[in-house]
Structure 1
Amino acid sequence: MRFSVATNFQPDLLDALEGYPVYELFGKLPSDSVGGGRASFMLAPLSAREFERHVRDAARRGIGFNYLINPACLDNAEFTRKGQAALERLLGFVEECGVSSVTVSLPFLLPIIKRRHPGLRVRVGVYARVDNVAKARFWEEMGADCITLESIAVNRAFRMLQAIRRAVKLELQLIANSNCLIFCPLSGQHMVNLSHASQQGHQSRGFMIDYCALRCSCEKLRDPSNFLRSEFIRPEDLGIYREMGFQSFKILERGAPTEVLVARVKAYAEGRFEGNLLDLIQPYGYKGPTKAGQGRVAELSRFLRYFFRPGTVKTRGLLRLKALAEKRGLISPLEWDPVYLDNRELDGFLEGIKEIDCREADCGECGYCASWTRKAVRVDEPYREEMLRLYQDVFNDMYTGTLWGVAGGGNHERNYRLGQ
């Protein structure tokens, strides 16, 4: 068993991971020419020099580094001279820094990297959406060294996992601690939104309203069974996947502080966890410096840099969105647990899932996750009701156009013809 662990680029992380089965770190600069799976505003500032120092420090400890070149969309820049030149500069930079592998999600990038930079191993990211045998074989024949399977589609599809494992010989990796909705209909849009929000030179300039995360969070509070209709693998259940031949697991999240990342690695290494499972699997927003007075300044600076766009969105509505995200714990962790997933009460949960084909099941008729929710999930009801009202108000602002100052209704057809 070995772990690929998200890095927060903090100087204390590598010492804290000593003794655990960590074979690589993964991460990237907050923004670059290709972008990746997290928006720039979700990550801590990082210079090129700090990045190189971190990569080389990891290498001295026998830990590789996986640089993420994994956007779901490049706006077709990969087919332009300018885009190709920027890609080549980035690949040259990461290789000079000592990076051992890169992750891609676009098929066109894999042979480019293999031919121009044969010293780099190429991994296929979850944004490639590999969820069946045909896709896995495609990437293997292309020359990929490893595939991270699409967790929301396959982590609980045990027959498919076994079929993919039998069909290919390359390394297969599973994400252990993500909490996306199973078969999430928002995932395609979310991947593209996040990719553009970390691309240098993109017209959005790093601005993004994370509608998909807000909608996902709302759906879970609306029906707490959605906390279990998910993709996460409990530490206690890693053995089930290892018996099927999976030995490589990816542990998130890049925005988490060192103590949280290490607690997650420790739980999966030991195969047991006591407490709120959300501590292991929920997303984690970047927190500013913790020295007295600096946190608020850093947060304000980050807000002004990425979100203060009076010509793009109405500031009052954006502040309302920010307050909602903070109250839900999407920007920084809450000081209490309005939602509690009792990990010990989930002993045996996965065994029952193995007997259900969730791709065919109607959750309303099945009722399996709902029955376990009543046993293992506790939600503070006043908090839930308050948050659902806030979500409704925010979504109403979006859907009507109020957030952007665009009135609904009226002569849209005529205005469209006139180009107004």
Structure 2
Amino acid sequence: MRKFSVPTPFTSGFIEQLAELNEEFDGSGGRIFEIYGSFQSGAFHSARPAKYLPAIDKNQFRSHVGRGREKGIRFNYLLNAPAYANLEYTSEGRKKLEELLSFLVDSGVASITVAVPYLAEIISRCFPQLEVVVSTIGYVNSLAGIGQYRDIGVGRIVVDVEVNRDFRFLEKGVAEGRTDLEVIVNPVCISQCHFKYNHYCVASTGAQSFLHGGAGAPYNQYYLNWCFLKKLQNGVEILKSPWIRPEDIGVWQETGISFFKIAGRGLDDTRIVQLCRGYLERRFSGNLLDLLGWPHWLTFRENPDGTCLEPLEIMLDNSMLEGFLKFFAEHKPQCRYGCSGCGHCERWARRALRYNDRKLLDLYSKNMEENLSSLVAQIPSGMQTVEAAEKWRRQAGEQRVDG
């Protein structure tokens, strides 16, 4: 059975849409078994910034979890920030954590995803009603890591995306038994990126309720800019990124993996349902980047003079990718050692990747290079810092939902 964990926007009717999908694909071998999400901010918060998350209250939360349970869909709460400024070591912090976890149990939450080992053991010992899941931000990419978390009571591990295509590790990790492994099917990270840990630290601080009036601390576009500039400068990075095509889910199932996570907090219900349908159907036609939700380069359309570039279209033709991912299962390349002498992704990029305008591609790259240089060289003024915080709070406050 392919068990999918999907993000929830907490909107009314979303649970019913997922239930309809489960009914439609009943008997297919795939099912949405879990939704995941969190409050917008808090003393103990998630790894996503507040301005992108729905601003729900406790009553909305309880109601949403309850509707899911009625439809046979459990709830996973994200407590997956990589650090909490050592709040968990204080009297006040432990009391706040206890209050949150007690509320989640009372609300019918089934599991908690964490990235901090100390929190994992606290929950597994003190709240045994809750399954403890290790976040991908826990960076489990070795058998030792699986064993360490298993020993403190973890039931499931969302592996580091860097091992998504490392079938030697996945096969051995599954064979270890006793702890279920889960993979994220649609990550956008550059392969073997060592900047993503700090990116998660920065993003999670954007949900810390002790900062800037409860909305978290704002940050700039440095990491998004850097990541997508690298993809524009070298298109093969798009293929190296560790996503999984809907058509190839079975390759991972053959290792014994049955848990698959669809990323996408911050997306609306229409986009999330589209993602769910694609992976339940195990088929998608057209531009795979449309399914994965990747056109972040469009954020950098504005020129220094205030004019805007035309939209840059990048096409990753899914019909041309049949066999691309099977290579990793059959040949088991060790990508962490580098690409020298391989050439697999380069060959497939030449086949499947297209741009609507190469000159436009160069203009986007130029804009992003200039923006990156500005972010690094310029020191923001006090007024700019205040304005950024005010904008952040305003954007967070706009994320009300009808659920």
Task: With the length of structure 1 as denominator, give the TM-score of the two structures.
Answer: 0.81
SS of alignment partner, residue 123 of structure 1: strand
**Partner of residue 358, structure 1:** 335
1:257 to 268, 282, 305: 268
SS of alignment partner, residue 5 of structure 1: strand
| Higher deviation after alignment, 206-215 or 196-205 | 196-205
**How far apart, CA to CA, are the structure 1 residues paired with 2:131 and 2:314?**
40
Is it true that 1:245 corresponds to 2:245 in the alignment?
no
**How far apart, CA to CA, are the structure 2 residues paired with 1:79 and 1:59?**
33
**Partner of residue 396, structure 1:** 373
**Partner of residue 344, structure 1:** 319
Task: With the length of structure 2 as denominator, give the TM-score of the two structures.
Answer: 0.84
Q: 1:24 to 1:335 in 2, by over 3 A?
A: farther
**Partner of residue 370, structure 1:** 346
Larger relative contact order (C-alpha < 8 A, sep ≥ 6)?
2
**Partner of residue 300, structure 1:** none
**Partner of residue 97, structure 1:** 107
Equivalent position amino acid for 2:106 in 1: E
Is it true that 1:173 corresponds to 2:182 in the alignment?
yes
SS of alignment partner, residue 337 of structure 2: coil
SS of alignment partner, residue 349 of structure 2: helix
**Partner of residue 43, structure 1:** 53
**Partner of residue 15, structure 1:** 16
**How far apart, CA to CA, are the structure 2 residues paired with 1:32 and 1:405?**
26
| Higher deviation after alignment, 252-261 or 395-404 | 395-404
**Partner of residue 84, structure 1:** 94
2:208 to 179, 199, 209: 199
SS of alignment partner, residue 32 of structure 1: coil
**How far apart, CA to CA, are the structure 2 residues paired with 1:112 and 1:236?**
39
SS of alignment partner, residue 120 of structure 2: helix
Equivalent position amino acid for 1:374 in 2: R
**How far apart, CA to CA, are the structure 1 residues paired with 2:312 and 2:370?**
24
**How far apart, CA to CA, are the structure 2 residues paired with 1:236 and 1:144?**
30
How far 1:383 sits from its partner (Å)?
A: 3.0
Is it true that 1:226 corresponds to 2:237 in the alignment?
yes
Give 5+ residue unaligned stretches, structure 1. 286-322, 329-333, 407-420
How far 1:395 sits from its partner (Å)?
A: 1.2
Q: 1:352 to 1:401 in 2, by over 3 A?
A: same
**How far apart, CA to CA, are the structure 1 residues paired with 2:353 and 2:379?**
36
Q: 1:194 to 1:2 in 2, by over 3 A?
A: same
**Partner of residue 396, structure 2:** none
How far 1:235 sits from its partner (Å)?
A: 0.7
**How far apart, CA to CA, are the structure 1 residues paired with 2:316 and 2:58?**
39
SS of alignment partner, residue 39 of structure 2: coil
SS of alignment partner, residue 34 of structure 2: strand
Contact 1:2–1:247 (8 Å) recurs in 2: yes
How many aligned residue pairs are there? Answer: 362
| Higher deviation after alignment, 342-351 or 115-124 | 115-124
| CA distances 1:350-391 after superposition (whole Å, capped 9, x unpaired) | 12234222122335x432212211111112323312211111
Is it true that 1:325 corresponds to 2:260 in the alignment?
no
Contact 1:17–1:262 (8 Å) recurs in 2: yes
Contact 1:36–1:194 (8 Å) recurs in 2: no
Contact 1:40–1:206 (8 Å) recurs in 2: no
Percent identity of equivalent pairs: 31
Q: 1:335 to 1:274 in 2, by over 3 A?
A: farther
Is it true that 1:379 corresponds to 2:370 in the alignment?
no
**Partner of residue 3, structure 1:** 4
